[in-house]
Amino acid sequence: MCGRLSQYRGIHDFVAALSMPNPMVSTLSAEPLRYYNVAPSTRIALLHLEDGVLRADAVRWQWRPHWASDRPPVINARVEKVAHSPYYRAIWPHRAITPVDNWFEWVDVGEPKKQPFLIRRRDGQPILCAAIGQYPAHGEAAQEHDGFVIITADSAGGMVDIHDRRPVVLAPELAREWLDVATPKERAEQMILHQGEPAEIFEWFKVGKAVGNVRNQGAELLLPLT
């Protein structure tokens, strides 16, 4: 996963796809988010549970532990290592869902510039990406070390032709279990290792190279090349 995605629906559309019965508190606008070309370090919508309440907050898409100030922040965590890596020990218990509409990958097609592809669900539903992070408690201001990472796995089923890594995407019932603080850590690890959505539920196509510049925004970036 190269590190570019879209969140253009409203937060209530994402929450409806999750179909969680818990009460919700959101610090985000109810209007469509309209983030068509999101790069790392941007604050984007993240869902997590706190005291039985589903929280929707804008959290920075990158993170590093406080003791690793000499390293660059990371945006993704490999599913094969995340549960046992000392690097993620502080945030592994803090599970979240990053809801996205699509993500982008760049492929070498023998041209001077790589060709961007858009990947989305075939059924048009939001993509519920497993994530972990550090975020402010209710009523607290954002802190310097707040942030989150998206968990990624090996690509399979043809998507490897686009990129060798992709987000771990969970079906709504598994996303709810992932968020539940009562879910044991061992069960959470097994979910992301073995129960992510298969490649067959996704489709991908070429889009214009304007998406390569993060300053470019707008729904036209999502149109397939003809």
Amino acid at 85: S
CB 169 within 8 A of CB 191: no
What does the pLDDT look like over 103-125, one tens digit per residue?
999 988 888 888 999 999 999 99
| DSSP result, 66-82 | GGGTTS--BSEEETTTT
Instruction: Give yes or no for residue 143 having a pLDDT over 60.
Output: yes
The secondary structure of residue 22, as a DSSP letter, is S
* Chain position carrying tokens 């592994």: 92
DSSP label at 136? P
Taking only the tens place, the pLDDT of each residue in 74-85 is 999 999 999 999
Can 2 be counted among the known catalytic residues? yes
Catalytic member of 31, 50, 105, 140? 105
Q: Considering 2, 186, 200, 220, which one is annotated as catalytic?
A: 2
The CATH label, of 3.40.228.10, 3.90.1680.10, 3.30.43.10, 3.20.20.80, for the domain at 5-222 is: 3.90.1680.10
Which DSSP helix (H) or strand (E) runs through 177? helix 172-179
- Backbone region of residue 59 per phi and psi (left: phi > 0; alpha: psi in -120 to 50; beta: other values): beta
| pLDDT for residue 137 | 76
- Confidence check: pLDDT of 167 > 80: yes
Active site residue 203: no
Calpha distance 88→157 (Å, rounded):
29
Q: Which amino acid is at 131?
A: A
Widest Cα–Cα separation across the chain: 52
Q: What is the pLDDT of residue 41?
A: 94
Dist CA 141 CA 121 (whole Å):
34
Structure tokens at 95: 């599970």
How do 165-167 and 115-121 pair as beta strands?
A: unpaired
- pLDDT confidence bin for 158, thresholds 50/70/90: low
With CA atoms as reference, report the closest residue to 34 among 221, 169, 172, 213. 221
- Paired tokens of 108: 């070498």
Residues 150/77, Cβ–Cβ less than 8 Å? yes
Hey, where are the domains in the chain?
A: 5-222
SS3 assignment, position 133: strand
pLDDT, average across residues 173-180 = 97
pTM, to two decimals:
0.93
